[in-house]
Amino acid sequence: MNCRHCQTPLRHVFLDLGYAPPSNAYLSEDDLRRPEITYPLKLYVCDHCWLVQTQDVVAADALFTSDYADFSSTSSSWLQHAADYSAMISQRLGLNADSLVIEVAANDGYLLRNFVQAGIPCLGIEPTAATATAAKAQGIPILRQFFGTQLARELAAQGRQADLIIGNNVYAHVPDINDFSAGLKAALKPGGTVTLEFPHLLYLITHNLFDTVYHEHFSYLSLHAVQRILQAQDLRLWDVEQLPTQGGSLRVYAIHADDPRPATAAVADLLATEQTQGLLDLATYQAFQPRADRIKNDLLAYLIEQQRAGRRIAAYGAAAKGNTLINYAGIKPDLLPYVCDAAPAKQGKYLPGSYIPIRPPAALRDEPPDEVLILPWNIAEEVKAQLAELAEGGMRFVTAVPALRVH
Ligand SMILES: [Zn+2]
């Protein structure tokens, strides 16, 4: 297999998590009687351009570009993040009624509605039917297509190049990052700006976040890798911000290579930090697997110890992160009898790979366990606050990443 960006043969494994089903393939009762298909979940690092990437699997585009409608507007902190960004960027770029904003992977319109309210013309691109329909219902123009070079050229030919192109949590999730980046170049007006938000590889490495690895997440990006990928399309970095969202993300600002705006000091600073932290050194990447293994083994030892002591355990949060961790550790219902989740669409189903049943949060009150393993560690404080009254009854909370911790 060759690097998806620079075509260099991939010789170095960054992380091997064995085999796993797609992380969003929740199982019904009927599915339990059928065979389940798993795929290798293995990341390579390119020693030429430093792009960390998933191993190619057969028909990845069809398998892992799920039609699972994940409505972004259900999280209040995420809505606030979107509103703050919209106000900041409109002011910084001087957007007005003559501008055009394009958002790739516009979801249910939770972000673009801020531009609609401000009277700034916009266009969302969203292939998933359910979310695209929800966005249209709010009066947001939506194209139900996948974004890439072809669509971008069509938009340019129609005179619909953008002053601002937004890509939030999509850049790391596209199989062909070169084609996507070429599309950004083609759809961007002269003097326009692209902003991309994606999880930062440096944060993943320093915080042992191996559970953020899943098949649909094709690329694990450092600023160095992104700089190269953009440069190959005649784009360059203008600015970068580090964000606490989603457990350590970057917001990268890109412009045409011939744009007169000079790059901010933040770009050089972060590139230097990445170099100091070893992101241009193969040894850094090769040191990661043992750290993931230690977390997995610590969790297994803990679960076994609790079970031997006769203490009952349940988990909270049936999300992708939890599935990666549970499947890599080989945990089944004998060690973790159930997981609670507030999403009604998941209740009554089973986690892929582990077949652990998903129950409503009320199960924690009806049959209180002694320990609750919170799988989405990034919202652990929020979950603890929701379950505060149970903690008063002696229930303990545990998180496994970035290290095993009993709260
Ligand atoms: Zn490469």
User: pLDDT tens digit string along 81-115?
Assistant: 999 999 999 999 999 999 999 999 998 899 999 99
Q: How far is the CA of 2 from the centre of ligand 1 (A)?
A: 8
Ligand 1 is an ion; residues with CB less than 5 A from it: 3, 5-6, 8, 46, 48-49, 51
**Ligand 1 center from residue 227 Cα (angstroms):** 12
Task: Give the mean pLDDT of the chain.
Answer: 92
pLDDT of residue 337: 96
Q: What's the CA-to-centroid distance between 229 and ligand 1, angstroms?
A: 9
Distance from Cα 218 to the centre of ligand 1, integer Å: 13
Percent of the chain residues past pLDDT 70, beyond the cut:
95
Ligand 1 centre to CA of 282 (Å) is 13
237-247 average pLDDT score: 87
How does residue 74 score in pLDDT terms, banded at 50, 70 and 90?
low
Three-class SS of the chain: CECCCCCCECCEEEEEEEEECCCCCCECCHHHHCCCCCEEEEEEECCCCCCEEECCCCCHHHHHCCCCCCCHHHCHHHHHHHHHHHHHHHHHHCCCCCCCEEEECCCCCCCHHHHHHCCCCEEEECCCHHHHHHHHHCCCCEECCCCCHHHHHHHHHCCCCEEEEEEECCHHHCCCHHHHHHHHHHHEEEEEEEEEEEEEHHHHHHCCCHHHCCCCCCEEECHHHHHHHHHCCCEEEEEEEEECCCCCEEEEEEEECCCCCCCCHHHHHHHHHHHHCCCCCHHHHHCHHHHHHHHHHHHHHHHHHHHHCCCCEEEECCCHHHHHHHHHHCCCCCCCCCEECCCCCCCCCECCCCCCEEECCCHHHHCCCCEEEECCHHHHHHHHHHCHHHHHCCCEEEECCCCCEEC
Between the alpha carbon of residue 179 and those of residues 5, 115, 126, 186, 252, the distances in Å are 10, 27, 17, 10, 18
290-341, pLDDT tens digit by residue? 999 999 999 999 999 999 999 999 999 998 889 999 999 999 999 999 999 9
Write b or e for each residue in 115-142: b if 16 or more Cβ atoms lie within 10 A of its Cβ, otherwise e: bbeeebbbbbbbbbeebbebbbeeebeb
| pLDDT computed for residue 77 by the predictor | 78
pLDDT attached to residue 18? 96
Q: Given this model, what pLDDT does residue 67 score?
A: 47
> pTM above 0.85?
yes
Cα–ligand 1 centroid distance for 40 (angstroms) = 20
Give the pairing of strands 313-316 and 371-374: parallel
- In the reported structure, the alpha carbon of residue 8 is separated from the centroid of ligand 1 by a whole-number distance in angstroms of 5
Question: Residue 70: what pLDDT?
Answer: 55
Kindly give the distance from the C-alpha atom of residue 236 to the centroid of ligand 1, in angstroms, as a whole number: 18
Tokens of 134: 């929800």
Give me the mean pLDDT over the 180-193 stretch: 98
- In the chain, what percentage of residues exceed pLDDT 90? 78
